[in-house]
Amino acid sequence: MSVDKTTVAKIARLARINVPDDRLEPLAAELNGILSWVAELDEVKTVHVEPLASVTGHALPLRDDVVTDGDRLNDILSNVPEEASGFFVVPKVVE
Protein backbone atom coordinates (compact mmCIF):
# COMPACT_ATOMS: atom_id res chain seq x y z
CA MET A 1 0.00 0.00 0.00
CA SER A 2 1.30 3.43 -0.78
CA VAL A 3 -0.02 6.95 -0.42
CA ASP A 4 -0.30 9.61 -3.11
CA LYS A 5 -0.54 13.38 -2.91
CA THR A 6 -4.33 13.30 -2.51
CA THR A 7 -4.15 10.79 0.33
CA VAL A 8 -1.51 12.87 2.12
CA ALA A 9 -3.78 15.90 1.86
CA LYS A 10 -6.59 13.83 3.37
CA ILE A 11 -4.39 12.57 6.23
CA ALA A 12 -3.22 16.13 6.92
CA ARG A 13 -6.83 17.23 7.07
CA LEU A 14 -7.71 14.42 9.50
CA ALA A 15 -4.68 15.32 11.64
CA ARG A 16 -5.62 19.02 11.51
CA ILE A 17 -2.19 20.02 10.23
CA ASN A 18 -1.98 22.59 7.47
CA VAL A 19 0.40 21.16 4.85
CA PRO A 20 1.21 23.50 1.93
CA ASP A 21 0.71 22.05 -1.58
CA ASP A 22 4.42 21.99 -2.38
CA ARG A 23 5.07 19.79 0.69
CA LEU A 24 2.50 17.11 -0.22
CA GLU A 25 4.68 15.32 -2.77
CA PRO A 26 7.85 15.14 -0.60
CA LEU A 27 5.78 14.09 2.40
CA ALA A 28 4.15 11.32 0.34
CA ALA A 29 7.63 10.03 -0.50
CA GLU A 30 8.71 10.08 3.17
CA LEU A 31 5.54 8.36 4.36
CA ASN A 32 5.84 5.72 1.61
CA GLY A 33 9.39 5.02 2.77
CA ILE A 34 8.08 4.29 6.25
CA LEU A 35 5.02 2.37 5.05
CA SER A 36 6.98 0.10 2.72
CA TRP A 37 9.39 -0.63 5.56
CA VAL A 38 6.68 -1.51 8.11
CA ALA A 39 5.07 -3.76 5.46
CA GLU A 40 7.73 -6.27 6.58
CA LEU A 41 5.18 -7.25 9.24
CA ASP A 42 3.12 -8.98 6.53
CA GLU A 43 5.66 -11.84 6.70
CA VAL A 44 4.50 -12.69 10.23
CA LYS A 45 1.64 -15.18 10.58
CA THR A 46 -0.85 -13.69 13.03
CA VAL A 47 -4.11 -15.45 12.15
CA HIS A 48 -4.77 -16.77 15.65
CA VAL A 49 -2.93 -14.07 17.60
CA GLU A 50 -4.86 -11.68 19.82
CA PRO A 51 -3.74 -8.05 19.58
CA LEU A 52 -1.82 -6.79 22.63
CA ALA A 53 -2.72 -3.28 23.77
CA SER A 54 -1.46 -3.32 27.36
CA VAL A 55 1.42 -5.16 28.96
CA THR A 56 0.49 -4.54 32.59
CA GLY A 57 -1.31 -7.86 32.94
CA HIS A 58 -3.63 -6.49 35.60
CA ALA A 59 -7.18 -5.22 35.33
CA LEU A 60 -7.64 -1.49 35.53
CA PRO A 61 -8.36 -0.52 39.13
CA LEU A 62 -11.72 0.94 40.10
CA ARG A 63 -12.05 3.88 42.45
CA ASP A 64 -14.98 5.30 44.34
CA ASP A 65 -17.20 7.43 42.15
CA VAL A 66 -16.63 10.65 44.06
CA VAL A 67 -15.35 14.09 43.18
CA THR A 68 -11.62 14.29 43.98
CA ASP A 69 -10.70 17.54 42.29
CA GLY A 70 -12.22 20.82 41.19
CA ASP A 71 -12.52 24.57 41.87
CA ARG A 72 -9.41 25.30 39.86
CA LEU A 73 -10.63 27.92 37.40
CA ASN A 74 -7.48 30.02 37.76
CA ASP A 75 -5.17 27.04 37.34
CA ILE A 76 -7.03 25.89 34.25
CA LEU A 77 -6.99 29.31 32.65
CA SER A 78 -3.43 30.16 33.64
CA ASN A 79 -1.95 29.19 30.25
CA VAL A 80 -4.90 30.07 28.03
CA PRO A 81 -4.14 31.86 24.72
CA GLU A 82 -7.44 33.76 24.83
CA GLU A 83 -10.02 33.97 27.61
CA ALA A 84 -13.16 35.95 28.43
CA SER A 85 -15.18 35.87 31.69
CA GLY A 86 -13.69 32.51 32.70
CA PHE A 87 -14.26 30.86 29.32
CA PHE A 88 -11.94 29.69 26.54
CA VAL A 89 -12.38 31.85 23.45
CA VAL A 90 -12.29 30.30 19.96
CA PRO A 91 -13.18 31.64 16.51
CA LYS A 92 -16.93 31.80 15.92
CA VAL A 93 -18.35 28.34 15.16
CA VAL A 94 -22.10 29.08 14.79
CA GLU A 95 -23.39 32.06 12.83
Partner 1 sequence: MNDLLDLNAVEARKALDKKSISAVELTSAYLRAADSTSELNNYVTLTADHALAMAARSDERISDGTAGLLEGLPIGVKDLFCTKGVSSTACSNILSGFTPTYESTVTSNLWAAGGVMLGKLNCDEFAMGSANETSAYGPAINPWRGRDDIDLVPGGSSGGSASAVAARAALMATGTDTGGSIRQPAAFCGVVGLKPTYGRCSRWGIVAFASSLDQAGPFTRTVADNALMMTAMASHDPKDSTSTQDPLQDLIGAARDGVKGMKIGVPREYVMDGMDDEVVKLWEKGQSWLRDAGAKLVDVSLPHTKYALPAYYIIAPAEASSNLARYDGVRYGMRVGTDTLDGMYEATRAAGFGDEVQRRIMIGTYVLSAGYYDAYYLKAQKVRRLIKEDFDTAFHSVEALLTPATPTAAFPVGRKIDDPVTNYLNDIFTVPANLAGLPGISVPSGLTNDGLPLGLQVLGRPFDEASIYRVATVLENAAEFSETPTLMATRGAA
Q: Which stretches of the chain bind partner 1, using CB under 8 A?
A: 1, 3, 7-8, 11-12, 14-19, 27, 30-31, 33-35, 37-44, 46, 49-58, 60-61, 63, 72, 75-76, 78-82, 88, 90-93
State the nearest-atom distance from the C-beta of 3 to partner 1, in Å: 7
Give phi and psi for 63, each to the nearest 5. Answer: -125, 165
What is the smallest separation between the CB atom of 86 and partner 1, expressed in angstroms?
Answer: 13
Q: What phi-psi label fits residue 57: left (phi over 0), alpha (psi between -120 and 50 degrees) or beta? A: left
Helix (H, G, I), strand (E, B) or coil at 83: strand
Residue 44 or 67: the one with the smaller Cβ distance to partner 1 is 44
Minimum CB distance to partner 1 smaller for 67 or for 92: 92
Report, in Å, the least distance between residue 20 CB and partner 1: 8
DSSP state letter for 19: -
Amino acid at 36: S
Q: Which of 33, 32, 34 is nearest to 3 (CA)?
A: 32
